Structure 1
């Protein structure tokens, strides 16, 4: 059975996910078979595994740091907020529908057997499990039915490291207050405190850490500096979404939808010299970018209406008229079409129909069964500024409730954006597309299907595929094409290996944590 260690935080966004990823990397470097685990994750950033199952991206990042393939057992419960008081509940990678928060709270303990089944499978396969908590363990109104913090730590008998965020201020009160609100048995599980995101001279903290240790009776096992590492963030609390960046030589604008999902699609652009990646939520922030991205969203119709009400839709349409490239992904792709229909009430009770932006000849129908599949393919013969992308290979994944069809009569002069090979388990059954079965493996559990996907009209581009910009050369070709249009030389733009870059970032993270944490004490608390 694997040895567990759990990272909990004094609040959301205290740095649990990054700390867990760093520990995964350290343990992997030290020769241990390591896997991440988070029993319940609430996030709009998700990923589709090779089995066609959905899980939170934070555990995908941690699995990458550990050098292993992501598996849905690493995140058995995923909650994707659909409204302020409800979420889509995904268990072992498959949606069980939308639930109000009160209803989910009343039934979540019934999911403990499924959580433990995932945990035990991982425990039998690995040496160490790095467990991430959620929010704070001191939410006293939620503790009685906790399945993700101290409740889980008790179930799996895990020692706990408690992290506080000094960058937000009040870190000593955070840590002491959290410990004080726990039951005695829970306090005894906390074996070490971590002060995270520190800037400045460590010695200035020494009197405070000594007093904190005395008050809590728990050692401070590290002061982690504010790290300059480029690793995917967990959710919409990400500092990446703050719009404080000035336009660069090539300026990319992402519409920051209220229910934005999978904004990690655009992270690759932020590491290219001379490129600004701005998240825009008001017309006054939009300006005249070189390209506008319409990202994924958990509620396409409501977010389109939000754009319509605050003037962003009209502003984007004006940019499109001026031949500024517009690229929609998933929900953003659906918005570009003529109409969106939700007869079954998938996104909203009672069902409705909403006109789209009218930039592509698309009709989208929302259905209760979710499409979940990994994709490989190649881009077609594209028009417009981004024509240099034509024929380039891509890979990624699809995750959506809508099925989008092309109005061939009105889109006769346009082109399919790509031809894709879809690798999908039979369980997905996305039957709304007409596709030719090309191959079935010996177990009959995977099919390869080829189809035309996405659509291109001039400088308007759209597709369902997440993660395609991470494929080697895609982001760089987009940037160099936009630069060339402006007559700008982008000598710094090179065809980079984004996967190699990410691995370098994980190693950099591990180096910082090794120098900041008492790893000998951490190994000792785990019995290693």
Structure 2
């Protein structure tokens, strides 16, 4: 039976995902079989497992850190919001339905059984399970039937450490207040604290740490420093910082209300020759080389949103002056003539006219495509190897698709091609996520987008991710009591 240790936070973005990723790499480097686990995740960034399931992006990153293959049991419940009050509910990697928040609240008892089944399976396969909570355990309105934080910890009787972000301010109030709002049983499960993102002289913090330990009777297990320029896959929030050295290509990504899998563009954001900008609500696109329309969890709603902006006219002008346009997944669907949703898969809207930039239409259906794929990118003078993953429930059909962007060499559903390249070579559409993460293919796409100015030197995101995980693990080893954390990872 694996040992289990849970990391909860005083707030969202306290550092739970990053801390779990760092600890996964620390213990993996010690030769342990480690499994990341998040009972319930709410995010629009997801990843596809080898078996064709869907999990949160954070758990995919943590699996890479632990050096294990992706597994749907790492994130048994994934909620993908498609409106302010509703979300698609994904259990064990498969979408079961759309639910409004009130209905899902009642459904949590059923969802908890799926969570416990996954945890039991992981217990039988791994030595250590590192669990990430969600938000804060002290959110009073969400405590009934909780499966994400203390509800899970109490169900499996596992020890908990609480992490707080000192950079936000009020770190001692956050920790003490969170602890005070827990029941006596839950307080007993809390075995210590970690303070995250500290800047400055640690000696000036010591009196506060001593007070916290005396007041709560629980140890501070470490103080993690602020790690500047730590770049890891974001769970949800869009990271906007660029790392431009010499701008050779300007890229503008439309920030849709329901943008999904924006991690597709991390390789561009970190590329030394690419200036990537997210175009926000009511902003103009402005002069650029490449406009990207990204994926969407509510493509009809986001298509309607695009029409309320100045973007459609700006895209037309951009193309008239020879600019390039790329649509990814939902963005691909928006490039066509119309999008249909007769079964209400993503919204109550049944159909909408699209940008009409290519001759095809898309119909959303109940069967969601979840695959890891590889093939050849047909852009440029020669076919180039490319790989990535698909997450979509639409089928696109029409004349434009007769000139594909990708010819598959390995597709689990025996599909032979994907996307399109316009006759004038200005517009590309694809369902493939992660298309910039294969360096050779990224070079081809960037050369196309820049009219040859960017010829090589694509950013190797996988290598960069490994370097960042090693840096994070080194920091954990230096600033946390790793042996004590491992000793805590047993039945509470």
Q: What's the TM-score bracket when you normalise by the shorter of the two chains?
A: over 0.9
5+ residue gaps, structure 1, are 425-446
Cα 1:481/1:454, change in 2 over 3 Å = closer
Cα 1:187/1:285, change in 2 over 3 Å = farther
Tell me the equivalent position of 1:401. Answer: 393
Tell me the equivalent position of 2:363. Answer: 365
Asked whether the 8 Å contact 2:284–2:310 carries over to 1, the reply is no
Distance 1:24 1:191 in 2: 19
Tell me which stretches of 4 or more aligned residues in structure 1 moved more than 6 Å: 242-247
* Structure 1 residues 294-340: Cα deviation after superposition (integer angstroms, max 9, x where no partner): 11010011111111102122222221222211111000000011111
User: How much does 1:524 deviate?
Assistant: 2.1
User: How much does 1:480 deviate?
Assistant: 4.6
1:89 maps onto 2:89 in alignment:
yes
Cα 1:480/1:463, change in 2 over 3 Å = closer
Tell me the equivalent position of 2:183. Answer: 183
1:91-490 matches, cutoff 5 A: 91-227=91-227, 228-236=229-237, 238=238, 240-241=239-240, 248-282=247-281, 284=283, 286-349=285-348, 351-380=349-378, 382=379, 387=380, 390-406=382-398, 408=399, 411=400, 415-424=403-412, 449-457=414-422, 458-483=425-450, 485=452
Distance 1:17 1:308 in 2: 36
Distance 2:490 2:281 in 1: 53
Asked whether the 8 Å contact 2:244–2:274 carries over to 1, the reply is no
Distance 2:284 2:219 in 1: 46
Asked whether the 8 Å contact 1:421–1:450 carries over to 2, the reply is no
Distance 1:106 1:22 in 2: 35
Q: Which moved more, 1:266-275 or 1:291-300?
A: 266-275
User: How much does 1:216 deviate?
Assistant: 2.0
How many pairs are equivalent?
488
User: How much does 1:247 deviate?
Assistant: 9.7
Cα 1:323/1:138, change in 2 over 3 Å = same
Tell me the equivalent position of 2:10. Answer: 10
What CA RMSD, in Å, does the superposition of the two structures yield over aligned residues? 2.2
Tell me the equivalent position of 1:437. Answer: none
Cα 1:510/1:242, change in 2 over 3 Å = closer
Asked whether the 8 Å contact 2:4–2:490 carries over to 1, the reply is no
Tell me the equivalent position of 1:427. Answer: none
TM-score (norm 2): 0.94
1:515 maps onto 2:482 in alignment:
no
User: How much does 1:245 deviate?
Assistant: 8.9
Tell me the equivalent position of 1:55. Answer: 55
User: How much does 1:496 deviate?
Assistant: 5.6
* Structure 1 residues 94-149: Cα deviation after superposition (integer angstroms, max 9, x where no partner): 11110000000012112222211111111111100010000100011221211111
5+ residue gaps, structure 2, are none
Asked whether the 8 Å contact 2:341–2:351 carries over to 1, the reply is yes
Cα 1:474/1:200, change in 2 over 3 Å = farther
